[in-house]
């Protein structure tokens, strides 16, 4: 009898412990619901990630407390294995769970958005399906991640990168559809030249896409007439939002997205010239951004005089020199600026050489 009692006693204690744990989880879940109600009453955004989570996971999340980080680490290890195996749809689910466990973890949001826009979209044969997954990646960062962490510069920078690299470049075979779709979405809110319209309904339509028309006009005033039908303008917008909340010491990644977007707009595709009715994409350089781009590159070079900033600024000035008319008196000033960017002991190529060379010289200094 003693032996039987000896074995039954721990089982009773174990059942009681499990019951207590269950009651605690339920109490925490109820408390969480009450707190969410209080947050809603105060106008705070809550429940942005509540849908689609299995009830069991919701209960675990409520009861984990400080152990959420341990579970997140375990899920990250699992994601690495799945990535090695190329199981990207499963990665999407795990990454979604991580963002629910720790919605302020920027790396989880950026990883999930990148996986959706690059890996999952590449698995789709139909261009429309590819577009949908790229749009999901953008929406994840723009509408959800930034709602949780509006003060995280990395999220703005990653969103800017998606617009410039995934939508703006030609590396994806469906890139034309991405660009046409963006242009068609923005066209109702733009003037014929692509700048922000003053028509009724414009502000509400832009805010539905998380765009602030006041900030858009401020960027136009600073850099020149931006065409919001091209992806580079959106990359510029989000990078500047990130730049506004970071300090100078950590600003280079955001600044890099800004000046690459400006450089590409100035030199290649800053103006939409296609036909939306026919679904045709084409673009042209936007020379009206030259002065704003010059000022931003000069400002960035003053903060970060080493590395690739000087090289890009030198190439930008050379493009200005080569594209200017013979009567443009600013050419000499640009060449003087170019001399200030030369590596120690070197000089820029003569003005006549830069202007008359049939193609852009590979080496600008000698």
- Summarised one tens digit per residue, pLDDT across range 344-355 is 899 999 999 999
Distance CA 208, CA 182 (A): 14
pLDDT category at 106 given cuts 50, 70, 90 is confident
- In sequence order, which residues have a C-beta less than 8 Å from that of residue 241 and are 6 or more positions away? 156, 215
The number of helix segments (H) and strand segments (E) in the chain equals 18, 2
- Summarised one tens digit per residue, pLDDT across range 279-327 is 999 999 999 999 999 999 999 999 999 778 999 999 999 999 999 988 8
pLDDT category at 144 given cuts 50, 70, 90 is confident
Distance CA 282, CA 179 (A): 9
DSSP at 343: P
Dihedral (Cα; 86, 88, 90, 91), 10-degree rounding: 100
- Summarised one tens digit per residue, pLDDT across range 180-192 is 999 999 999 999 9
Residue 132 Rama label (left phi>0; alpha psi -120 to 50; beta): alpha
Q: What are phi and psi of 171, to 5 degrees?
A: -75, -25
- Summarised one tens digit per residue, pLDDT across range 60-78 is 555 444 445 555 555 545 5
Most confident of 142-151, 217-226, 301-310, 327-336: 217-226
Percent of the chain, pLDDT > 70?
A: 72
Helix, strand, coil % in the chain, rounded to nearest 5: 70, 5, 30
265 pLDDT exceeds 80?
yes
Residue that is written with structure tokens 């006009």 in the block = 217
Of 168, 156, 159, residue with least CA distance to 270 = 168
What's the pLDDT score for residue 119? 82
Q: Do residues 224 and 292 make contact, with C-beta atoms less than 8 angstroms apart? A: yes
Q: For 112-120, what is the mean pLDDT?
A: 85
The per-residue b/e assignment along 140-170, b for 16 or more CB within 10 angstroms, e otherwise, is bbbebbbebbeebbbbbbbbbbbbbbbbbee
Three-state SS for 210?
Answer: coil
């Amino acid at each position: 009898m003693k032996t039987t009692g000896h074995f039954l006693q721990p089982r009773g204690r174990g059942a009681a412990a499990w019951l207590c744990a269950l009651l605690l989880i339920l109490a925490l879940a109820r408390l969480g619901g009450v707190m969410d109600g209080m947050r809603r009453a105060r106008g705070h955004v809550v429940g942005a990630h509540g849908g689609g989570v299995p009830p069991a996971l919701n209960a675990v999340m409520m009861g984990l407390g400080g152990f959420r980080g341990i579970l997140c680490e375990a899920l990250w290890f699992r994601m690495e294995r799945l990535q090695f195996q190329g199981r990207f749809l499963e990665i999407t689910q795990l990454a979604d769970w991580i963002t629910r466990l720790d919605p302020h973890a920027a790396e989880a949001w950026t990883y999930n958005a990148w996986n959706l826009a690059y890996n999952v979209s590449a698995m789709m044969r139909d261009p429309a399906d590819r577009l949908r997954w790229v749009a999901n990646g953008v929406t994840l960062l723009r509408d959800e991640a930034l709602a949780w962490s509006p003060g995280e510069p990395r999220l703005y920078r990653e969103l800017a990168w998606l617009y410039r690299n995934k939508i703006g470049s030609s590396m994806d075979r469906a890139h034309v559809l991405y660009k046409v779709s963006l242009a068609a979405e923005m066209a109702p809110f733009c003037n014929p030249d692509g700048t922000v319209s003053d028509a009724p309904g414009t502000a509400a339509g832009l805010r539905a896409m998380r765009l602030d028309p006041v900030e858009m006009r401020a960027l136009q005033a600073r850099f020149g007439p931006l065409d919001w039908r091209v992806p580079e303008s959106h990359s510029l917008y989000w990078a500047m939002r990130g730049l506004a909340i970071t300090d100078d010491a950590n600003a280079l990644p955001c600044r890099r997205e800004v000046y690459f977007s400006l450089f590409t707009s100035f030199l290649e595709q800053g103006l939409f010239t296609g036909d939306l009715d026919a679904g045709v994409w084409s673009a042209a350089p936007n020379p009206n951004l030259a002065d704003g781009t010059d000022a931003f590159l000069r400002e960035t070079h003053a903060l970060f005089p080493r590395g690739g900033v000087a090289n890009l600024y030198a190439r930008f000035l050379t493009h200005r020199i080569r594209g200017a008319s013979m009567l443009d008196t600013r050419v000499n000033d640009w060449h003087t600026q170019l001399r200030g960017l030369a590596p120690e002991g070197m000089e820029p190529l003569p003005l006549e050489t830069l202007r008359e060379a049939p193609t852009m010289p590979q080496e600008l200094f000698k």
